[in-house]
Amino acid sequence: MSKRLLIIAALLLATFILATYFDIDDRLAARMVETAPVSFSDVDQQPVVTEVTAGLTAPWGMVFTAPNRILITERRGTVRTVRDGQLTSEPLLIISDLAHRADGFEGGLLDITLHPDYATNRWVYLAYTTRIDEYNNTLVARYVDVDSALVDETIIFPGVEGTSRGNHFGCRLLFGPDGKLYVTLGERGEKERSQDLMDLNGKTLRLNDDGSIPDDNPFVDRDDAHPAIYTYGNRNSQGLAFEPGSGRLWSTDHGPSWYDAPGGGDEVNIYVAGGNYGWPIIHHRETREGLISPVAEYTPAVAPSGCAFIDSEIWPESWRGDLLIACLAGQCLIRLDLEDGNISRQMRLLDRAHGRLRHVAQGPDGAMYVLTSDTDAYGPGRDNGDQLLRLTPPS
């Protein structure tokens, strides 16, 4: 058989497989169902952007322990310190027992958060992926910050049976106004796990600060569900933020990647206790009774990651209360102008000006800080390493 005929045969076979597995007509029709505003408004003002530091390698999360001290996680297993705007040469912590921290996979040292009483107990929480037997798992550990190092590791969540796959680990850590620790876990590339209430993959967990289960969790009294679960039907959430005032828990989630459903379908959600967010039963803008569809959906994909609210008086009133979302594939910050839980307009900030963006957080000075992510396995690389950027109001 000629090379041309082989190519034609391969294309026909691929088309048949896609049509059979994805039910393409139904999926394309579902994308046309309008459930959320997705058009972007023109941007009349951009924030002022300055570089704080560079030289980072695949950063993921950051916390502010003091006005002049920032801790940043790098997926290779290091916690870095930025003090007075300078990246220190020696890591605060090195974790060597990591699974899939490089070579095209998505694991490693992921997020970091501080205990609400950090000022007195100095507790820092980290999430990282490790290998147990033949499985890769995401665990959560607590450390004590002694300024020169993170010491006294205590594993508060040892992870659950994962898979040998190297993708969809999540993960974002966040303490809520209720003092509970919220943890997002990806479904590990095995979509059926998201709907299994005895499986913690594809879920958001709600834990006490020592890893125990709060007695008011939504499934704590059910024999057919794990009591740590707060939400389910999630795919690979990498963003969490509590809205000032209302206390709503906003999240971002990565949509399908063609091997598990048609591409696109990235989501912004409002998480509620016990909520089922549909994956893989529904996705994109599909709806079904009993399942929660996204507040906003993005096709083509923007790969939303970390998110944070603007909650400082240094910003104009028109910016306060808006949600910023760091986007990887989209290479921008999406700014959502919110009114009572609804999106009134969306804007792209820093559009393709600084590459892939991993996380955004508000600093003690009221400025918004952004981590780039061009040195991870999916990025193009960056000669001087990834950056920490500082955003201040338009001049």
Residue 117 lies in a domain: no
Question: Three-state SS across 34-75?
Answer: CCCCCCECCCCCCCEEEEEEEEECCEEEEEEEECCEEEEEEC
Residue 272 lies in a domain: no
Residue 316 lies in a domain: yes
SS3 129: strand
Report in angstroms the alpha-carbon separations of 244 from 65, 111, 288, 310, 320: 20, 22, 30, 9, 10
Residue 357 token pair: 């963006």
Burial group, residue 278, by CB count within 10 angstroms (0-12, 13-18, 19+): buried
pLDDT of residue 250: 98
Residue 354 lies in a domain: yes
pLDDT of residue 21: 37
Residue 300, preceding peptide bond in cis (omega within 30° of 0): yes
Residue 311 lies in a domain: yes
Q: Which residues are catalytic?
A: 168
Indicate the number of domains in the chain: 1
Residue 394 lies in a domain: yes
pLDDT of residue 132: 78
Residue 34 has pLDDT above 70, yes or no: no
pLDDT of residue 131: 81
Residue 215 lies in a domain: no
The 10s digit of each residue's pLDDT in 370-389 is: 999 999 888 888 999 999 99
The 10s digit of each residue's pLDDT in 106-123 is: 888 999 999 999 999 999
pLDDT of residue 17: 41
pLDDT of residue 2: 56
User: What span, in angstroms and rounded, lies between the C-alpha atoms of 67 and 50?
Assistant: 17
**In the chain, what percentage of residues exceed pLDDT 70?**
89
Residue 368 lies in a domain: yes
Residue 280, preceding peptide bond in cis (omega within 30° of 0): yes
When mean pLDDT is compared across 10-14, 199-203, 331-335, the lowest value belongs to 10-14
Residue 332, preceding peptide bond in cis (omega within 30° of 0): no
Predicted confidence band of residue 312 (pLDDT cuts 50, 70, 90) = very high
Average pLDDT value over all residues in the chain: 89
Question: What CATH number is attached to the domain comprising 358?
Answer: 2.40.10
In the chain, what are the helix, strand and coil shares in percent, each to the nearest 5?
A: 10, 40, 50
Residue 130 has pLDDT above 80, yes or no: yes
Predicted confidence band of residue 133 (pLDDT cuts 50, 70, 90) = confident
Whether the Cβ atoms of residue 345 and residue 43 lie closer than 8 Å to each other: no
Q: For residue 378, what are the domain limits?
A: 302-395
Question: Which residues have C-beta within 8 Å of that of residue 136, sequence separation ≥ 6?
Answer: 99, 100, 107, 129, 130, 162, 163, 164, 165, 166, 169, 188
Q: Which of 17-21, 181-185, 256-260 has the highest mean pLDDT?
A: 181-185
DSSP secondary structure letter of residue 21: H
